Chain A
Amino acid sequence: MNEAFIYGLVIILYLALLILIGLIMGRRTKNIEDFYIGGRQIGPWVTALSFVAAYFSSVVIIGGGGFGYMFGMSTLWIGAINVLLGCTICWIVLGPRVRRFTQRLNTMTIPGFFGKRYRSSFVVVFPALIIIIFMIFYNVSILKGMGHIFEVLMNIPYTYAILIAGIIILFYVTIGGYLAVVWTSFVQAWVMGLGLILLTIFSIKAIGGVSQANQALQSIDPGLINTPGVWGWPGLLSYALIVSFGVWGMPQLVVRFYSIKNLKVLRIGTVIATIGTCMALLPYFNGAIARALYPGLKNPDLAIPTLAKNVMSPLGSSIVLAAVVAAGMSTFASVLIILSSSMVHDTLIMGFKLNIPKKRVLLYSKISSLVIGLVSLIIAFKPPALVLTLTAFAWAVIASTTLWPLLFGLYWKRATRIGCIASMIGGCLTALLWMAIGKPFGIHGFIPGIAVGALLMIVLSLLTPRLPDAHIEKIWGRS
């Protein structure tokens, strides 16, 4: 069997499975709570592994390999901080309270929680609009990443590749909503794990062992095995923080805590998610090995595809291809549901108080996810330079807007509406400006964004009247 046939067969089987899941879950999606958060009935395995799949997009796998290639083994720390801060501590700190508070307040989205926690329409509409604008750009970059992978590994033209992937995602998200997203993501997490583990085994075998990889890298540049090595602390740490602490403000990930079945299930989910997130170290590790094996690559983003093509059989590298595609599709689908809820539930219903009949909300949500997905797809055919620039801002801007209002909203009774509004606007603008002026000192815009956001939240909350005791008691419960 030739290479292209094996690639094609694996990918077709995999895509057919996703469509099947979409059809099955479509029959179980009866109302808007099912469509947005799966009726709060999702078990530990599906919640945890769909969190992992949504966390790591194809950009992370391919880009992570690129970072490993450029900066060597020190980038393992990015993966380690992903596990520590982006998963374990995030699940422990946010999980139980998000689950409990959002059920008490009967909210299905993050902006929706802000609206009820801080009693303001502005804190619903502002983050919802930020999410809509920047998540669309983020989705474009995910599609673009997937398209290039198809192009490199399967010789499928970019346009056809994103068209196939995009239409299949739109199909299962529109039909099956959140249930389809988490169940397909669950499958995709296994594919990602399998692909990355196989790639790691074959890479180590190809170079002759981990010690040999380290020695080869040291002979190229000792900075490639030391920490912080050739990247330096500011770049390494600020990047690790945005892709780890940033998770705490990313709606497509935090929504997993809304939908989990109960708090006991959340405990098991924390362990499973932590184990799954450990795969975060592998793209960086493999990228570094690729540097030792193929030191002359002109484009570091080709590190993982080049490695897969050269050290594995066609079947093995097709599984890696499926893993990369899985990573992209799961993130794109998760973001699509969030975009739909931000548009219909947060902006139109909660923000502008439109009186949409309950039966119609589900239909409008499906239509909005379809339309937003198509817009992302159309932009991805030929993304303007501005879109690509703004993509780099997406995580920093969204996390700087939502992180503190969420964290303080869960843990500090004194946090007020004005503190929240100031934190959102200040954090968002600071992150945007910092990135726009070219990231001074090599520091990612997320760091000044959250610094300013925290300061404004604390100072202005202390300077403004506290929210009524009865309201706080309703959220926290009687102590």
Chain B
Amino acid sequence: MGPLDFPWFTFVAWIVAVGCIAVSVIWAIFLYKPKDDEHE
């Protein structure tokens, strides 16, 4: 059993959701560089 009596694989669903927030922050700050913003 994983935390809070979730089976591990079921618990990973929560981790995926939180992990997505981290990925979106990393993408927004470090990875995505808008080149030709035509509406500025």
User: Contact partner of A96 among B20, B23, B34, B40, CB < 8 A?
Assistant: B34
CB–CB B40/A262 < 8 A:
yes
CB–CB B4/A211 < 8 A:
yes
CB–CB A88/B24 < 8 A:
yes
Interface residues of A in 325-377 (CB under 8 A from B): none
Q: Which residues of A contact B4 (CB under 8 A)?
A: 209-211, 214
Min Cβ gap B28→A in Å is 4
Q: Which residues of A contact B27 (CB under 8 A)?
A: 92, 267, 270
CB–CB B34/A227 < 8 A:
no
Contact digits for A73-84, partner B, Cβ 8 Å, 1 yes 0 no: 110110111011
Q: Which residues of A contact B23 (CB under 8 A)?
A: 88, 274
CB–CB B16/A267 < 8 A:
no
Q: Which residues of B contact A226 (CB under 8 A)?
A: 7, 9-10
User: Contact partner of A91 among B24, B25, B38, B40, CB < 8 A?
Assistant: B24
CB–CB B25/A271 < 8 A:
yes
CB–CB A103/B39 < 8 A:
yes
Instruction: Take A96-B32, A270-B28 as given contacts and tell me if A275 and B6 are in contact as well, using a CB distance cutoff of 8 Å.
Output: no
Min Cβ gap B34→A in Å is 4
Q: Which residues of B contact A27 (CB under 8 A)?
A: none
Interface membership of A281, Cβ < 8 A: yes
In the docked arrangement, what's the CA distance between A478 and B9, Å?
47
Q: Which residues of A contact B20 (CB under 8 A)?
A: 83-84, 87-88, 274, 278
Q: Which residues of B contact A40 (CB under 8 A)?
A: 39
In the docked arrangement, what's the CA distance between A211 and B3, Å?
8
Contact digits for B5-37, partner A, Cβ 8 Å, 1 yes 0 no: 111011011101110110111011100101011
In the docked arrangement, what's the CA distance between A209 and B4, Å?
9
Interface membership of A298, Cβ < 8 A: no
**Chain B, residue nearest A284 (CB):** B13
Interface membership of A264, Cβ < 8 A: yes
Interface membership of A30, Cβ < 8 A: no
Q: Which residues of B contact A280 (CB under 8 A)?
A: 17
Q: A266-B34, A275-B21 are in contact. List 15 more A-B contacts (CB 8 A).
A: A73-B10, A79-B17, A80-B12, A83-B16, A92-B27, A209-B4, A210-B5, A210-B6, A214-B5, A225-B5, A226-B10, A262-B37, A264-B34, A267-B32, A268-B28
Return 9 A-B CB contacts under 8 Å, by A number.
A40-B39, A73-B6, A74-B10, A79-B17, A225-B7, A226-B10, A227-B13, A263-B37, A280-B17
